[in-house]
Amino acid sequence: MQRIENKTFQGERPLYKIKDTLLSNIVIGEGESGIKECQHIQIENCVFEGKYPLWECHDMTIRNSHLSDGARAALWYSKDIVMENCQVDSPKTFRELDNLKLSNVTIRSATETLWFCRNIELLNVEIGEGDNLFLHSYGIRCNNIKLNGKYSFQYCKDIEITDSVILTKDAFWNTENVTIRNSRLKGEYLAWYSKNLHLINCHIEGTQPLCYAENLIIENCTFAPDADLAFEYSSVNATINGSITSVKNPSSGTIIANGIDEVIINEDKKGDAKCEIITTAQQLS
């Protein structure tokens, strides 16, 4: 493997089609497409400042490096990428990727990031300004992530999230096959129009959660007082640890909670609305 160290590159395509190369203490300065159409690359302690620096790359590891805000749309149309201990300040960083692993990464500007990606793993990742994160992606595994941003995980499939904090609005809309464990989910209108959403040991905050959901399963979750008007037009089987402020017009299934302040079944219900609603007091009486 060849080594390129302690250099600065600028302009267009300065390292085009390199292979089997270690890049150490390199600066990719102003210009476009600094490292493009490359294979079998290791990147260590590098700084990226120019636009579109890492496109059409395959089998690449990036460690201890920084993508500045100038490195917009940094990593697109690539496969088999590992990124460890990096700071990402560039917008629209990840698109159209297959098999991406992020570990100990901070993404400070994640607007329109991780779109149309496949087979993604995130471990110990902190994400800020994450509006529209993970649009139309699938095969997502997240462990110990913290996300702050609206409209995340829309139109995504096959997701597993564990030990995480999701601070968002309109998250998980139109998703399919999602399992979330031991996590905090804060934001209005959680997971509308979802299919096969499974929440285990989670805490849910924000108004009108989990409406229009199909085959919703909730195990041992807690609901904050502001998580009101839940389950409207949803098919749901839920076991809630504690009380819930209000439930409105669920379509079918069973809801069990320690207490429910208000159950709203009114003329706006759809069909028979045959959902069994049970509180602990009813079970003990």
Question: What is the mean predicted confidence (pLDDT) over 266-272?
Answer: 79
Distance from C-alpha of 230 to C-alpha of 247, rounded to nearest angstrom = 5
* pLDDT of res. 284: 40
Q: Answer yes or no: are the C-beta atoms of 205 and 224 closer than 8 Å.
A: yes
Residue 282 has pLDDT above 60, yes or no: no
State pLDDT tens for residues 104-153.
Answer: 999 998 888 999 999 999 999 999 988 999 999 999 999 999 999 999 99
State pLDDT tens for residues 32-44.
Answer: 999 999 999 999 9
Burial class (CB in 10 A: 0-12, 13-18, 19+), 117: buried
Distance from C-alpha of 113 to C-alpha of 94, rounded to nearest angstrom = 5
* pLDDT of res. 266: 86
* pLDDT of res. 281: 62
Side-chain-facing half-sphere of 121: CA atoms under 13 Å: 9
State pLDDT tens for residues 181-191.
Answer: 999 999 999 99
What is the largest distance, in Å, between two alpha-carbon atoms of the chain? Answer: 77
State pLDDT tens for residues 191-233.
Answer: 999 999 999 999 999 999 999 999 999 999 999 999 999 999 9
CB atoms within 10 A of CB 242: 14
* pLDDT of res. 285: 39
State pLDDT tens for residues 37-77.
Answer: 999 999 999 999 999 999 999 999 999 999 999 999 999 99
* pLDDT of res. 128: 92
User: 145: which 2 tokens?
Assistant: 């992530």
Average pLDDT, the chain: 95
